[in-house]
Amino acid sequence: MSNFVLTRIQRNTGFITLDRPKALNSLSLEMIRAITQTLLAWKDDDNVHQVVIHGSHERAFCAGGDIRFFYDVGTTTPMGDSALLEDFFTEEYALNYLIHHYPKPYISLLNGVVMGGGMGVAQAGPNNRLRIVTERTKMAMPEVNIGLFPDVGGGYFLSRCAGELGTYLGLTGEIITAADAIYPDLADVFIPSEQLPALITFIEAFSGNDLRNALREFALPYQHQLAASQLAANHAAIDKHFAHNSVAEVIASLKQDSSDFAQQAVKVMLTRSPLLMCVTLEQLRRGKNLSVADCLRMERTMVRHCFKHGEVLEGVRALVVDKDGQPKWNPPTLAGVSAELVDGFFAEVWPAYAHPLRELK
């Protein structure tokens, strides 16, 4: 088990607490294994009727995978081909699959930062989830900012957002708050953070049959506190501009729109990795027609190619290591991104019988 993952059972509810506040609860391989081990143990435990996962500190639920670990391992081994790196992504994606198909109610308290890998442990399947956000929630799939793509099942849950909302979130990596998380069905209900202690007390004392419904009722008095959704306000524009099947066309469309929203989207996208924006767009288009298992298998293949190419290492260097904010993207512009280069990120690495996630159904 991990010192950064705390577990307990209180009156038929299993609590998983992510407790690595200095790193905003970023996931290490040890933490992924601890969460997996706990969920597997509780899966067939009749004393556990539902699972609640949350962070120990108001700043973050989970900021994602430990990207500094990615950089340290990826820069000290040939082409990032490290057993530890391989294990991290294989086991993280297997955990995402386990959560999506978990047979018991899975409730995530998404207070503070919820990004990348944090989304992967928050987005359970529609039949078992309840995702609670607060006014502190800062949600994003910001991978294109570090030369990666929205993984951990992002190809599945982003591609199923209404219209092109998921495409917008994947290509820009923009941060959204509570109302904008609920609008595209990336969260379910809002509760003010000041009510979280009362919420935990309520859960600890719960002895009924439907905790998720009880929590919806608990949250009902606070829904009027939600601000208006900016995604809702800009939904028509997002559908218009992000419906194109090339990033160049998306940006060209946005440039013709003088609204503050469109111009901000252009500004942000021009700072992202041109290559990984193109890869992300292809990932989301393919993901629409794939199951969770097939999306995760596709992403496991993509991540191998991503580290081999090196774009993610440069992105992490610029953002986290040297902190110069000046990544040297390769290619540096969209004009240099060919269809062949993008297709290479989807080329099979393993035969089907040897794929690390071959057992996912």
137: alpha, beta or left? (left if phi > 0; alpha if psi -120 to 50): beta
Beta-strand runs (E) in 134-243: 138-140, 189-190
User: Can you tell me the distance from the alpha carbon of 317 to that of 83, in angstroms, rounded to the nearest whole number?
Assistant: 21
Residue 358: both structure tokens together: 């071959």
Catalytic residues: 65, 117, 143, 151
